[in-house]
Amino acid sequence: MSSRMAGSVLLRHAGAGAGRLFATTASPAARTALAGGEGAWARMMSTSAASHAKDEAAKAAATGDGEKKEVAVNSYWGIEQSKKLVREDGTEWKWSCFRPWETYTADTSIDLTKHHVPNTMLDKIAYYTVKSLRFPTDIFFQRRYGCRAMMLETVAAVPGMVGGMLLHLRSLRRFEQSGGWIRALLEEAENERMHLMTFMEVAQPRWYERALVITVQGVFFNAYFFGYLISPKFAHRVVGYLEEEAVHSYTEFLKDLDDGKIDNVPAPAIAIDYWRLPANATLKDVVTVVRADEAHHRDVNHFASDVYYQGMELKATPAPIGYH
């Protein structure tokens, strides 16, 4: 009898201790269940089961019996996926790197023959520096204009980014506006990058060409960065002459297309959407609009250099925004 009474006392103490432990460490729902008895516990278990079922349903919707389906991502940070975009004809817009309102029609009527005659010593240094860079490029690529275009665009996309970045930092330091030039230069860099993305659909670089891109980009970025810090007017003049050479290279590209030396294949889909080209556009149409872009960048950079030559800063003249 005494042993049974002692065991009963121990069980009561153990039950009370467990109650205090669960009441301290368990979740609010669990504490409510402990306090409310079997009914509350049953309600909590049913809620947990429903939540588990919901998770399983979401997984099933994502997998779809082995087939991957698109599921909207709800972000804790309040960033929601945008609604599906469509073209003017109602078809789905498939590009995430640019939107329909960022597309444009290139001005192919732009004067392609413009040339800034180097008069000052600084201009002559910029001109002959660019000319000296063309010689090894001609030897390396010869008339493989698809790969040549890719190499050219990996370099051409650097100055706009560097110039825009330095003007951005200058604007922050001096608490002043930039006259729209930050946006104009960054738009130029983005446009040149889209040229590269387009030609990647036409020609794939070889491994040693990729290695060359890494080397050239690393050297050119640092050289242009310090050059822009020392003399922005020299830096913009260099880019102006680089763009003149780009116009010349794309003109030669078009000649080979006309002569049948390069197949005039259908235009990549990304180019058709980006430049608003007709559905039956060809590589020749793509090269034509890219050349027009380069001519526009030529004019913008020569103009920027002229502004500095006249003793003014870029913020004093409105930037040519709106072409892209």
Instruction: Find out whether 311 and 291 touch, Cβ atoms under 8 Å.
Output: no
Give the C-alpha separation, 269 to 42, whole Å: 59
- Angle of CA points 279, 277, 285, to nearest 5°: 100
Here the tokens at position 287 are: 């090269």
Give the C-alpha separation, 106 to 292, whole Å: 6
Q: Binding residue per annotation — 153?
A: yes
**Helical (H) or strand (E) element with 8:** helix 2-25
Q: Binding residue per annotation — 52?
A: no
CA dihedral 36, 42, 44, 49 (to 10 degrees): 180
Handedness of CA 305, 309, 314, 317 (dihedral sign): negative
Q: Binding residue per annotation — 243?
A: yes
Alpha-helical (H) ranges within 26-144 are 28-36, 38-63, 121-141
Burial of 286 (0-12, 13-18, 19+ CB in 10 A): buried
Instruction: Find out whether 274 and 198 touch, Cβ atoms under 8 Å.
Output: yes
Burial of 2 (0-12, 13-18, 19+ CB in 10 A): exposed
Q: Which residue is listed with tokens 């001519």? A: 295
Give the C-alpha separation, 245 to 101, whole Å: 30
Residue 263, phi then psi, degrees to nearest 5: -65, 130
| CB count in 10 Å sphere of residue 289 | 24
Q: Binding residue per annotation — 195?
A: yes
Beta carbons within 8 Å of 184's beta carbon, 6+ residues apart: 164, 300, 319, 320, 321
Q: Binding residue per annotation — 297?
A: yes
Binding residue ranges for Fe cation: 153, 192, 195, 243, 294, 297
Binding residue ranges: 153, 192, 195, 243, 294, 297
